[in-house]
Structure 1
Amino acid sequence: MGLIGLCGLAAGCIYSISTPANLPGQALVGLPVEQVRACAGNPLREVSRPASTMLVYYREAAMFEESFFGGKGSKPGYHHGCWATLLVENGRVTGVEFRPVPDPDADTHECQEIFVACVP
């Protein structure tokens, strides 16, 4: 199964490439799109092409995760979240990409939380 390669949402380029099955989000591959919508809700954006559809979700970190206590008050942390893009072909998820922001190497926890009710 594949991870989604994006040329940019405006251009609409989508293709699948092979990835290891243990990546976060791979449990979503094969699920019917109706099941994903039922457990994760409606996507923030949906981009349809003749042979495929991209569902784009976003989740921000909770405010208490973005600050920490120290000394005489709290100190602001950095604002972070995660973009999740699902490629749907023939009514089933065929590709998943989790992209944490602003640090692309950060944990994908926020993206995983979007779909926690979707996988056992």
Structure 2
Amino acid sequence: MKDNMPTRLNVAKKKVKDIKGFYNHLLICLIINAVLFLFRDKITVVLLSKRVFGSPEFFENINWDVFGTPILWGIILLFHAANVFGKGFLFGRKWEERQIRKFMEKDHMEKVNK
């Protein structure tokens, strides 16, 4: 086996590192957005403004000084999560299998308790 070929251990370590990186990103996002929200009257952060979108009605109802950063960061986090957890990370095959097992166990327990 060549040294440059990824081993199962190296692949697993990289996956754990990627997942840890995502959760660190999520934690930083939550902390910074909480601070921005708490100090929204004292700090003005303009990532997006009505001028950027030409003032369509939908964007008139959003206070971009307060919600612009979390909205953009949320979109970025979704891409990061998709990259780390892969296809179907929300409602993929593994989720379906867990749900099926859960409902089958629940049904079994109900029959046993009758």
Is this a same-fold pair by TM over 0.5? Answer: no
Report the TM-score, using the length of structure 2 for normalisation.
0.22
In terms of fraction of residues, the more strand-rich structure is 1
